Amino acid sequence: MSAVLQGRADRTPIPADELNFSSMTADDLDWVAEAEAFIYPFPWSHRDFANSQAAGHSCWLLRHRGARAGYAVLMLGVDDANLLNISVLPELQGRGLGSALMYHVCEFARTAGKTQLFLEVRESNVAAQALYEKWGFVLNRRRKGYYPATEGREDALELRRDL
C-alpha cells in the first residue's frame, strides 16, 4: 500500500479513458481489505468482502492506468439496489474517481431493471455526502447509532436516489 499512497497534492481530474472497471476477484481481496483498513477507522474485513462475493453481490474494482484505485459493492434486490461500499484511495480522491464509480454502479443497477438506489453514510462523512448530493441522493431516513464510533455509536443517513 505504501508505494501507492504518496500524498494528496494532485487534484487534477483523471480522464475517463485512463479508467477501467472489472469484477472484483478473489485475487483482489487482500488488496481491497488492506485499502479498506487504510481508508476507514472501522473497516470492512477481508471476510466481509469475501462474503459479499459469495452472496452474489456485484463487487467492482476500479483501476487507474492499470493500478487498483477503488472499489464498490452493490447488492441488487427485487426492485431496488443497495450500495454497500464505495471507496477510492485517499490520494486519488477529489479527481473524479468517486463519480466514475457512482456512474458505473448506477448504470449497472438501472440496466438490471432497478428503480432506486439506497446507501448509508456516516453523519460525519461530509465529503461522501457532497458526492451523493451531487448524484441526486436525498435523505430517506436517519438510522440512530448505526455505525461504531470511537466513543459510542454514530448515526447513519440513509439516502435514496431514483434510477
The set of catalytic residues is 120, 132
Question: Would you put residue 29 in left (φ > 0), alpha (ψ -120 to 50) or beta?
Answer: alpha
Task: Tell whether the torsion through CA atoms of 90, 94, 95 and 97 is positive or negative.
Answer: positive
φ and ψ at residue 18, rounded to 5 degrees? -95, 5
Contact predicate 19/64, CB 8 Å: yes
3-state secondary structure of 38: helix
